[in-house]
Amino acid sequence: MSGAAVVIGAGDATGGAVAAAFARDGLVAVPVRRTGDGLAPLAARIADEGGRCLPIGADARDEEAMIGLFDRVERKIGPVEVLVFNIGANSPMGILDETVRRYRKIWEMCALAGFITAREAARRMVPRGRGTIIFTGATASLRGSAGFAGFSGGKFALRSLAQAMARELGPKGIHVVHPIIDGAIDTEFIRSNFPDRYALKSEDGILDPEAIAAEYVRLHHQPRSAWTHELDLRPWIERW
């Protein structure tokens, strides 16, 4: 049986690139997003590159769905060797206009879903004494900015979860890392909504999703010491 790399939040940029990179590395990619139909292009790309893929549509905030997902992966594929939690939930709103409904949803997507998926991965990794859990962080994980109270709150909570899990699970052989990715990523959203900035990408440092994905694979193969819970990717990943 082969091992699996579960990527929660496998979108069209970073998450998709990460799933494809782990498939090229020999694991079976399990890209997950709420709408399963949206995974078809990624699954086709992985197949074209000679990789293996099990795309799954599921809501990472749903505890029962995530328990079932990890059970299914371990039954059909083999041990979950890597979990990447990559849900973004970046939705700016001024504090005077922010609503409880929006704030709660952002927190659920950033923090609650991160807890559920990482706990389920850890429950399967710890008995084997190995595994990698990567939480995608952002500038908002380190500081709050005007208009981003909801997003910063969720990302701060996710960072705290990563720290706690690293200190608890590191001695058990589980590598937990929280990369800080700072800057706009080369996506259709950036190209369409910020054309002036994109035109200057060689100067502004638009980030390459493929370079981020390559660093995630490297982190899996070259883990830091057990207590290291955070890595600032800003000096490491390629900027265009």
The CATH number of whichever domain residue 54 belongs to comes to 3.40.50.720
Task: Tell me how many domains the chain contains.
Answer: 1
Bridge partners (DSSP) listed for residue 54:
none
Domain annotation covers residue 240: no
pLDDT of residue 197: 55
Q: Which of 95, 94, 92 is nearest to 151 (CA)?
A: 92
Domain annotation covers residue 36: yes
pLDDT of residue 144: 78
Q: In the 8-state DSSP scheme, what is residue 239?
A: B
Domain annotation covers residue 10: yes
- Separation of alpha carbons 216 and 233, rounded Å: 10
Domain annotation covers residue 238: no
The helix-helix angle for 149-169 and 100-107 (nearest 10°) equals: 30
Q: How confident is the model at residue 188 (pLDDT cuts 50, 70, 90)?
A: low
Output the CA torsion 215→219→221→227 (10° steps).
170
Burial class of 213 by CB neighbour count within 10 A (0 to 12, 13 to 18, 19+) = buried
Domain coverage including residue 93: 4-232
Domain annotation covers residue 131: yes
Domain annotation covers residue 127: yes
Our measurement of the distance from residue 26's CA atom to the centroid of its chain's CA atoms, rounded to an integer in Å, reads 19
Domain annotation covers residue 200: yes
What tens digit of pLDDT does each residue of 68-117 get?
A: 999 999 999 999 999 999 998 777 778 898 889 998 998 999 899 999 99
Domain annotation covers residue 22: yes
Average pLDDT score over residue span 167-188: 82
